[in-house]
A and B are shown apart, each in its own frame.
Chain A
Amino acid sequence: NAGVTQTPKFRVLKTGQSMTLLCAQDMNHEYMYWYRQDPGMGLRLIHYSVGEGTTAKGEVPDGYNVSRLKKQNFLLGLESAAPSQTSVYFCASSQLAGVSYEQFFGPGTRLTVL
């Protein structure tokens, strides 16, 4: 099992450009999450999904959109990138059932907006 994977690993954008980050999981998890990590700020939730076709806003959703068309994929979009969106983005998934509530994280995407 690959677990949670993210593409791309690195990206540099110019202000105003758009891009999509892809997260994929092969654990058949219902729940998926997008976080951003900035120095000294911990992990902040951007958007999340509790199942295929559903999405919801997290703590810092402005400037981002998401889609969950397939259970195994969760896409994060930046329509018009801003320097404030320079960050490391982590995707995570969990099942939230049975004996484990663990969130499994992907390897991260380092995004720089110039």
Chain B
Amino acid sequence: GENVEQHPSTLSVQEGDSAVIKCTYSDSASNYFPWYKQELGKRPQLIIDIRSNVGEKKDQRIAVTLNKTAKHFSLHITETQPEDSAVYFCAASIVGRGSTLGRLYFGRGTQLTVWP
């Protein structure tokens, strides 16, 4: 099955700096890569996703890049704010094909702390 590795496990940045979280995946058939944010005591929530036919996607201060050849994708957060502090999970999946059932394989998470 798919194996997703995520680095770093913890990341501390000063408010206003950028943060980058990186993930690698093993199954070249994976074609959907979402990122979830989980605040303390809350449920994971999707913040951005990318499909394999796109190399980069942006949404305000967050962006995701995908390198299919190297099988890695990254989350970039610019101008970080204290409310960005949370655990971020990357995931990989195969979608659009009935036999794979859309299972998400998650990385182990990155605890991001943004200091004021």
Chain A residues within 8 Å of B, Cβ to Cβ: 31, 33, 40-45, 48, 50, 56, 58-59, 90, 94, 96, 101-103, 105-108
Contact = CB atoms under 8 A, between A and B. Distances in A.
Contacts, number: 50
Contacts of A90: 43-44
B43, B103, B108, B109: most-surrounded residue (chain A CB, <10 A)? B43
A42 B7 CA distance: 12
B46 interface: yes
Q: Is the interface of B mostly helix, strand, loop or mixed?
A: loop
Interface string B97-111: 000011110111100
Given A50-B101, A101-B93, A41 B43 contact: no
A48 B103 contact: yes
Interface in B26-51: 32, 34, 42-46, 49
A50 B46 CA distance: 21
Q: How large is the interface on B (under 10, 10 to 19, 20 to 34, 35 or more residues)?
A: 20 to 34
Contacts of A40: 9, 108-109
A107 B10 CA distance: 24
A42 B93 CA distance: 15
A94 B34 CA distance: 13
Given A43-B44, A108-B43, A96 B106 contact: no
